[in-house]
Structure 1
Amino acid sequence: MCKILTLKTRLNSFIHINQLPSEILARILVAHAEDHYRSATGRWDKSVFTSPRWIKLAHVCRHWRDVALDTPRFWSFVYVRRPKTFHALLPLSKSAPLHIDLTLDPSIWSGAEAWKSATDLIGKQSHRLRELRFAATSNQVKMLAEKMGHSSMGWLEKLVLSHSNSKATDAGGSEPLQFLQPTTGRTPHLRHLEIRHLLVTWTDPVFCPTLTTLTVVAPKSSRNPATPIGTFEQFLDALRAMAPSLVDLKLEECMPRLLSTAEHSTSTRAIPLTSLQHLTISDTMGDCIRLLDHLCVNPTTTLNIFAIGVTETPRLVEILSAHVSRSTPLLALQIIFPQPTSSFVDITCHCNADLSLFRGRPAINLLLRTSPSDEAREQPLTAVLKASKTLFSRVQTLHLTAQNGLDVSWKRLFPRLYSVETLSISGDPGKGFFKALCNVRRVQKGQVWATFVPLRRLRKLDLDDVRFRNSLWGYERGAGEFFDQLRDWAILRCNYGVPLERLNIWECKYMDATDVTLLKQIIVEVEWDEWERGSTDEEDDDDDIFFDDDVYSY
């Protein structure tokens, strides 16, 4: 047997990769381990990574095994789920900087001794941690924080703490965790900090001036004003200390609540976030405004505001308008409308008019949702349009993603977008859309009458997934369907000297080549993907699926 192993070892030595120096092979092994770690920690569903697959490289041959055992960094990227594997890997990493991603799954870490020994081991090795991702219950995270709080973490660059079950009744706990003792300098290189669904006090030294990325997502229990997470002044002091270095800031319902509506912040100094590129705030509209009033951000900063409530919309729009006035004008606007039964609107603004660049970094992303306390029950989009004034006056590209049956105040939207040159529609815009576009007004200015055509500068129209008719079953042309209203509107624009120059039709339902021929008589350029729904076979198939007797037993 020994002779066979010796022979295999000699044969393996002739393989090209085994002729590489051990230092080069070690780098290859470390790169593979790091790639596996990054791909595992970057996934939302981590269940597919049930075992440390990178270790299989150490089992290729005895030479690779010897190189792996002599390379501590190969064992320093620890992503495991089972206690035995976790305890076996850490000693092999020796003194190399550690990258740990550990989730204490109750189905695997069932005994208290297992997870307590894991937190003890992490606490003892905290001095060589470079990255730590730890997900567990609030009590388990607090125990880890206590063990690490007295240690110096001079190598730590990234820290992610989260509750393993954010929907649990104990998510966050009743008392905030104290991650570091009240002494500074324990995390001199910490750059990235995420705390999700855990209570934390804003006086914790972990909110240090070296941070460039901060994400705090509070648990539901933090919405109680009596929760001891600190005062609003302490929250502002923490932001002020971190402000010079922050590049990405995300705050979700983590601001200290006011004990009464009459309480106001005594701080009048604005917090200058000179390096900030992304700001995300998710909270009630009142709290969003309260924070924005204390911040001074760069004109190029992307603002992501997710607010609940519409009563204070004018003040929020005023803040956004002031931000836009200091930067490049908004040239593209994307509005996503909800289902008719939902009361929210998603508005994304870009400083580039090219539709193909919509996936780039926007200037403003505003998502508004009504709350049960809103007395007026005003639609969020209507509230924004009332307060917008000239916020959207320079917009050249308008993209609408709509749902069928949507009731939108189109007459209030189009007059504020008089610079639009390209209109893109995805989905059915619903009733009132063409009525608003055909609402030509004549206004007297002195002795001269002026004619105002909605979207007068419009030159290009893109239609995607629009239903031209309700059905092809025995339809009659001129029956008031989308196609007929589109044709009448195109003729109206020609009559007023502002014709459409180009029409693009993509994957639209219930239309045929005859419709395209009629449109080409009115519009100069019509591009069609020739996707013609000539029958309803697909719908019949859908009916067979959803209304089968065997399924519903009618």
Structure 2
Amino acid sequence: MWTIPTQRLLDGKGDSPVEVHCERVEQRVLELEKEILALKAFRNTMSRTAALPAEILSDIFLYVAFDCRLNCRPAAWIPRVTHVCRQWREVAISSPSLWTDICFRTPELMQLMLERSRNAPLTLSHWGARTRGDRRGDLPILRTALNHISRTQSIDFSTRNGLGTLGTLLTQWPAEPTPVLQTVILKDEKDSFSFPGSFPSEVPSLLYLELYGCKIASWKDLPLGIKLKVLGLHAHASAQRRPTSEEFLVALKRVPSLRKLGLSHILPVNQYTAPLTPTGRPPFVLSEVQALGLVDQAPALINFLRTVDISNVSNLEIEVAGRLGDHASLDDLFAALALSWKPVVDAGPKFIGIREEYSFANEDTIQLIEMRFGSSRDRPQTLRFTVRNSGPTISSALGAIKRHMDLSPVRSLAWRGIWMRTASCDVFADLPNLEKITLDKTDVKSFVRALRGGPASDTTPFRALESLSMRNVDFGDGKPRRRAAIDAAAVTFGSLLAALQSRPDPVPFIEIRDCRYLRDSYRRTMQELLPETEVMWDNSEMVSDDEDD
């Protein structure tokens, strides 16, 4: 059963002193452990993965490393590929590209990866880490990494320690060429940092530049070039230094290949003096930009839109920062937008969506008006207009939009999570092509009143309506007591039925899904009173007809 040396030790317990016999047993254990290691190593050489070329293994390791970084475990891949067998370890250590995405968890790990990456292009990504107990914060470790700037391909530094790390780092930026640098992302969540500082003004390969919390000290020294595709300049709302319109436009002229532009709290406020073109268009054209995001005060936004032609933009996002002061500013804003984005606005939107969502960046709730335009099937255009608590209301924004845009092409309206006011309903009631309306997590009383129309009205509201979907609607009007909510739902649902019955042409399709405080009998009543309407009633919270207090 046992090997001969082992059997002899097991049988010869009394042939020698106990201490001597224990030493022989221990020696035998060590011999067996060595044999086991040798057998396992030999077995590994016969595995299927051992037959893979080193290049294939290296590619697999790259995928493992990428997956670990994707799951916020940037160094977890190292033991997974280097502590398995000798072959894997040798392949990993001899693959410089595997070590180029530098991990800053410890200075020792960073230095190890810098050495093993040899001369391969580096990716330096350091997001919000803080050195505990060290008031210098991230500065020493970032400065060490930048000693390799000449072979760095991507930089993504984000700090939140309130120590002015990026500002200090930019004053000490290495004076070395950056021939392979393509991506630069710098973000300070608490402080403003001056840019460019000692950052080089000539970065020949730069494709992507994003700055968050920046104060542009010199616009002419920005590292802008003909290859740049993405530019984001985002200052904190309290930033004071803004460019003149002339400085700003000169900077834009330096990036003729730009495809995506984002600007926050950094637009010039002085009016550009150049006249409009003979066709009445803004004098400066963003010819290649496809995506544009603007966050600023109303005067700065209006000035930008009156100066810059954004006809070629497909994805436009606008947010008015702070209070407007009066509705005239909102009218001026959408009038300027209609001028700057004229071909798209003239084509008219096909879809309007109003919804509420949580902004993780600002830790507050925002309201969005999204519009999809149909001037091009191959490249649809979208507008996202953001409304915050301190800014304009949804109703006032929709009113200004209607005054300066032709909404007659709108075919679909989706309203989600925001209280629907009468003024908002009035914006859409007379649209001739509005076929589909979806109401989700909102009050429907104002819509029902608008659907019924006024006594003196000689036109049918929502006359093109073919599909009405109500989802997650509280027909109980938010009443805290169940009986009061059931009674309120009865009134609202009765008004809805009356409004639908009074229409000269029936609505072909109605969906009621996951709604609250509707009685069992309401579905049958709707089907009886609206025989030509297809009713889909699904998963709503039903109230028994014989329910009492």
TM-score class, shorter-chain normalisation, is 0.7 to 0.9
- Cα distance change, pair 125–512 in 1 and its aligned pair in 2 (3 A): same
Aligned to 1:419: 433
Aligned to 1:156: 181
Report how far residue 370 of structure 1 moved. Answer: 6.8
- Cα distance change, pair 379–153 in 1 and its aligned pair in 2 (3 A): same
* CA distance in structure 1 between the partners assigned to 2:357 and 2:146 by the alignment: 48
* CA distance in structure 1 between the partners assigned to 2:509 and 2:250 by the alignment: 55
Report how far residue 194 of structure 1 moved. Answer: 1.1
Kept in 2, the 8 Å contact 1:82–1:109? The answer is: no
1:4-83 map, 5 Å: 4-37=36-69, 39=70, 48-49=72-73, 51-83=75-107
Report how far residue 221 of structure 1 moved. Answer: 3.6
Aligned to 2:130: 106
Kept in 2, the 8 Å contact 1:468–1:481? The answer is: no
Aligned to 1:294: 307
| Partner-residue secondary structure (3-state), 1:161 | strand
- Cα distance change, pair 56–411 in 1 and its aligned pair in 2 (3 A): closer
* CA distance in structure 2 between the partners assigned to 1:474 and 1:138 by the alignment: 56
Aligned to 1:550: none
* CA distance in structure 2 between the partners assigned to 1:476 and 1:509 by the alignment: 9
The answer to whether the aligner puts 1:238 opposite 2:251 as a matched pair is yes
* CA distance in structure 1 between the partners assigned to 2:157 and 2:502 by the alignment: 63
* CA distance in structure 1 between the partners assigned to 2:254 and 2:529 by the alignment: 62
* CA distance in structure 2 between the partners assigned to 1:133 and 1:296 by the alignment: 32
Aligned to 2:261: 249
* CA distance in structure 1 between the partners assigned to 2:271 and 2:181 by the alignment: 37
Deviations 1:208-251 (A, max 9, x none): 332111222212441x2xx3x64342122112211x21111111
Q: Which amino acid aligns with 1:198?
A: C
* CA distance in structure 2 between the partners assigned to 1:233 and 1:325 by the alignment: 24
Aligned to 1:542: none
- Cα distance change, pair 60–345 in 1 and its aligned pair in 2 (3 A): closer
Structure 2, gaps ≥5 residues long: 1-32, 276-281, 359-363, 545-549
1:344-363 map, 5 Å: 345-351=367-373, 363=382
Kept in 2, the 8 Å contact 1:348–1:366? The answer is: yes
- Cα distance change, pair 478–431 in 1 and its aligned pair in 2 (3 A): closer
Aligned to 2:293: 280
- Cα distance change, pair 473–119 in 1 and its aligned pair in 2 (3 A): closer
1:299-314 map, 5 Å: 299=312, 301-308=314-321, 309=324, 310-314=327-331
| Partner-residue secondary structure (3-state), 1:409 | helix
Aligned to 1:446: none
- Cα distance change, pair 338–103 in 1 and its aligned pair in 2 (3 A): closer
Aligned to 1:134: 157
Deviations 1:115-157 (A, max 9, x none): 4542332222111111111123564223433444522111111
- Of 501, 504, 518, 2:525 maps to 518
Larger Rg: 2
| Partner-residue secondary structure (3-state), 2:319 | strand
| Partner-residue secondary structure (3-state), 1:346 | strand
* CA distance in structure 1 between the partners assigned to 2:432 and 2:144 by the alignment: 64
Q: Percent identity?
A: 21
Aligned to 1:194: 210
Q: TM-score, normalised by structure 2?
A: 0.79
- Cα distance change, pair 153–2 in 1 and its aligned pair in 2 (3 A): farther
Deviations 1:163-189 (A, max 9, x none): 1xx2x3xx115x54425345x3xx222
| Partner-residue secondary structure (3-state), 1:364 | strand
Aligned to 1:172: 192
- Of 80, 102, 108, 1:84 maps to 108
- Cα distance change, pair 383–532 in 1 and its aligned pair in 2 (3 A): closer
Q: TM-score, normalised by structure 1?
A: 0.78
| Partner-residue secondary structure (3-state), 2:262 | strand
* CA distance in structure 2 between the partners assigned to 1:197 and 1:361 by the alignment: 32
Deviations 1:67-93 (A, max 9, x none): 111111111122332222112211111
- Cα distance change, pair 88–361 in 1 and its aligned pair in 2 (3 A): farther
Kept in 2, the 8 Å contact 1:156–1:189? The answer is: yes
Q: Which amino acid aligns with 2:525?
A: L
Aligned to 2:11: none
Structure 1, gaps ≥5 residues long: 41-47, 373-377, 444-450, 536-554
| Partner-residue secondary structure (3-state), 1:432 | helix
Kept in 2, the 8 Å contact 1:211–1:245? The answer is: yes
- Of 114, 130, 146, 1:123 maps to 146
- Cα distance change, pair 365–73 in 1 and its aligned pair in 2 (3 A): same
Kept in 1, the 8 Å contact 2:103–2:109? The answer is: no
| Partner-residue secondary structure (3-state), 2:542 | coil
- Cα distance change, pair 234–391 in 1 and its aligned pair in 2 (3 A): same
The answer to whether the aligner puts 1:365 opposite 2:384 as a matched pair is yes
* CA distance in structure 1 between the partners assigned to 2:393 and 2:100 by the alignment: 53
